[in-house]
Structure 1
Amino acid sequence: MATKETKQRGRPRSFDRETALEQAIRSFWEQGYEATSISDLTRTMGISAPSLYAAFGDKRALFDEVVAEYGRLYGGFISRAVAEEPTARRGVERALREAAVEYTLPGRPRGCLVISAAQNTAPASAEVAESLREMRHANRRDFERAITADIASGELPADTDAAALAHYVAAVVQGMSQQARDGADRTMLEALVELAMKVWPKSAQERRKAQKKADPAAGTP
């Protein structure tokens, strides 16, 4: 008959699931999907491998949950900015400025997990890389929809290439993430935002002001 002591010793180790998930986010964020091993995760999360599998499933299932939680806690600012601002320019500029802050906050891994976690993935992890790629494409499509709407409303010139401009913004976001991981601070990233926004097509109001300045009599009865 098992004693009380042996029963206690055989019980699964209890742990706080949310805390363990947060530690998993940091591991994948810092190291990427491929480089993060189960032993890395159990060490960081403070749980055994059987507990990890019982609570989260395999590494891929855990990573899917990590990405969803990352989006909820840290990564949703880009889509919110684009959705909440009245013009594409204001949405993009807000998203980039918030990225400069989010990607360099002390006490957190640098850059964006969705951008960095897919680096150096093996062929066996192609589905992981593709799922992260699709998330990045979703942000780009948000940019393109907002830009297209501004073209339709006359806010942006009719000859604006919405697809190219959206790809440009996405490239800036990805570059900021990598720059942050390479040590760039918030001030440097904010300087990049200033430069990036200089290429934005002039709004309808800016075009009217430029036309009036060039020809003060324009529009005068």
Structure 2
Amino acid sequence: MPGGRPRSFDTDAALDRALEVFWRHGYEGTSLTDLTTAMGINRPSLYAAFGNKEELFGKVLARYLDGPGAYAADALAAPTGREVVERLIHGAVDLTSGENTPRGCLCVNSVHACGPDAHAVRQDAIAVRKAGEAALRRRLEQATDLPSHHDPATLAALVHTITDGIAVQAASGRGHAELQQIGTLALRALLA
């Protein structure tokens, strides 16, 4: 027996549009109407293809990490510890204050702007951020070019604190050029 009508929309394109809406407005600031309007689908199609709003956000979060946020995983492949840190900080500036992206970071916004009703979404975003910090710590443990007084776990936490701060500043309207200057100064202080 056939499984119903085939989808009349491109699921990848719909996910990209949902990503942008969540990124701009946060999880709780995004309504189902916002999503269906941006995605060009009705609610039954959204539920059939992506599940409820929380499940859709999980799919969007994975898409974000594989798409716009992939710079972080790419940075870990840099040949030196210094380059890893540089790529992470400058990548955060480019991602969160770029001309073609919403301001701020989807993960940072989701952690800070979710109330008790969105606990699971907040926990998912926290888990993603913790995994990123743990991966950075492991990479920095392998680095031989960093000053010996740098503890990899503390340095990883500090780099994440700086990139989170960059995202918050970008979401508050601070410009790309100014954030690049802040990132450069942070790197000088970090890697001295």
TM-score, normalised on structure 2? 0.89
Report the CA distance shift for 1:121/1:156 in structure 2 as closer, same or farther (over 3 A): same
Alpha-carbon separation, structure 2, partners of 1:163 and 1:13: 47
**2:81–2:146: 8 Å Cα contact kept in structure 1?**
no
Q: Which residue matches 1:29?
A: 23
**2:90–2:183: 8 Å Cα contact kept in structure 1?**
yes
SS in structure 2 at match of 1:159: coil
Aligned: 1:129 with 2:122: yes
Provide structure 2 residue ranges, at least 5 long, that are not aligned to the other structure: none
Show CA shifts across 1:181-218 (max 9, x none).
Answer: 1112221111011111122345xxxxxxxxxxxxxxxx
SS in structure 2 at match of 1:111: coil
Show CA shifts across 1:4-39 (max 9, x none).
Answer: xxxxxxx89832222221111011101111221212
Amino acid at match of 1:174: D
TM-score, normalised on structure 1? 0.78
Aligned: 1:57 with 2:64: no
Q: Which residue matches 1:41?
A: 35
Shift of 1:157: 4.0
**1:97–1:190: 8 Å Cα contact kept in structure 2?**
yes
Alpha-carbon separation, structure 1, partners of 2:6 and 2:134: 45
Show CA shifts across 1:133-167 (max 9, x none).
Answer: 111112212221222222xx4x3344322222111
Alpha-carbon separation, structure 1, partners of 2:39 and 2:149: 52
Alpha-carbon separation, structure 1, partners of 2:117 and 2:94: 34
Alpha-carbon separation, structure 2, partners of 1:201 and 1:77: 20
Amino acid at match of 1:146: R
Identity of aligned residues (%): 37
Q: Which residue matches 2:74?
A: 80
2:149 to 159, 177, 195: 159
Alpha-carbon separation, structure 1, partners of 2:72 and 2:7: 39
Amino acid at match of 2:107: V
**1:30–1:109: 8 Å Cα contact kept in structure 2?**
yes
Alpha-carbon separation, structure 2, partners of 1:32 and 1:57: 18
Aligned: 1:106 with 2:113: no
Amino acid at match of 1:100: V
Report the CA distance shift for 1:15/1:40 in structure 2 as closer, same or farther (over 3 A): same
Taking CA–CA contacts closer than 8 Å with sequence separation of 6 or more, which of the two structures ends up with the larger relative contact order? 2
Alpha-carbon separation, structure 1, partners of 2:191 and 2:18: 42
Alpha-carbon separation, structure 1, partners of 2:101 and 2:61: 16
**2:95–2:101: 8 Å Cα contact kept in structure 1?**
no
Report the CA distance shift for 1:201/1:110 in structure 2 as closer, same or farther (over 3 A): closer
